[in-house]
Structure 1
Amino acid sequence: LEGKFDIEVKSQGGGFTGQTDAIKLGISRALVKYNPDLISKLREFALLTRDPRMKERKKYGQKGARKRFQWTKR
Structure 2
Amino acid sequence: MQVINTVGRRKTAVARIYMKPGKGQISVNGRELQTYFPTEVLQIILNQPFNLIEKNGQYDVKVNVKGGGIAGQAEAVRLAISRALVEADADNRPALKKEGFLTRDSRMVERKKYGRRKARRRFQFSKR
TM (normalized to structure 1)? 0.77
1:59 and 2:125 matched: no
Q: List gaps (5 residues or longer) in structure 2.
A: 1-20, 22-54
Q: In proportion to residue count, which structure has more strand? A: 2
Runs of 4+ in structure 1 over 6 Å off: none
**Largest Rg, 1 or 2:** 1
Q: List gaps (5 residues or longer) in structure 1.
A: none
Q: State the structure with bigger RCO (CA 8 A, min sep 6), 1 or 2.
A: 2
Q: Residues of 1 paired with 2:127 and 2:98: CA distance?
A: 54
Q: How many pairs does the alignment contain?
A: 74
Q: Residues of 1 paired with 2:83 and 2:124: CA distance?
A: 47
Partner of 2:81: 27
Q: Residues of 1 paired with 2:113 and 2:68: CA distance?
A: 23
Q: Residues of 2 paired with 1:58 and 1:4: CA distance?
A: 45
Letter matched to residue 40 of structure 1 = P
